[in-house]
Amino acid sequence: MKIRHLFGTKGFTLYFIAPEEPLTHAVELMMRYRIGSLAVMENEQLISIVTERDVMRAVHERLGDFGTLAVHEVMAPRLVTCHADESIDDAMERMFENELGRRVRHLPVLDGDRLMGIISISDIVHALLTEVRFENRLLRSYIKNWPEAEV
């Protein structure tokens, strides 16, 4: 299954923020829309993402001045992305094995140079579970309709 397929069920709503916006605004958007990350866009170009984990790190390290932080101060310094026509398996592997040398939970999805959206590890797990359930039904149907052995 291709990453593009996820957007058929997840939808295409893209939530983003500018790098100079206050981090508190990013938190407000993540809470309002119940999402774990935001695309950081500048001049209609993806430059990074900011995640709930980035926010928690900022709370831990800079609690005293948290209210004055801008998104660009905590967003990911390097970005790991995937392409819409890649397989879900490839995207999942990239979440665990990538050029950052650490796991990531959110992947921006590109269609050419255009940002389609951001997928999370839970989106991938849901897609894989759906696929396994479908295969399970097919196998059960196949076994149930197994032809009798000729005697």
Domain contains 13: yes
Rounded mean pLDDT, 26-38: 96
Domain contains 149: no
Domain contains 151: no
Residue-number span of the structural domain to which 22 is assigned: 3-144
**Domain count of the chain?**
1
pLDDT at 144: 77
Which strand (E) or helix (H) includes residue 118?
Answer: strand 114-120
What is the DSSP secondary structure assignment for residue 143, as one 8-state letter?
Answer: H
* Cβ-contact 20, 71 below 8 angstroms: yes
Domain contains 106: yes
Strands lying side by side in the sheet with 16-17: 16-17, 37-42, 45-51
Domain contains 86: yes
CATH code (residue 25):
3.10.580.10
Domain contains 76: yes
pLDDT at 11: 65
Average per-residue pLDDT in the chain?
Answer: 89
In this model, does residue 146 exceed pLDDT 80?
Answer: no
Domain contains 150: no
Query: What is the pTM (predicted TM-score) of this model?
Result: 0.81
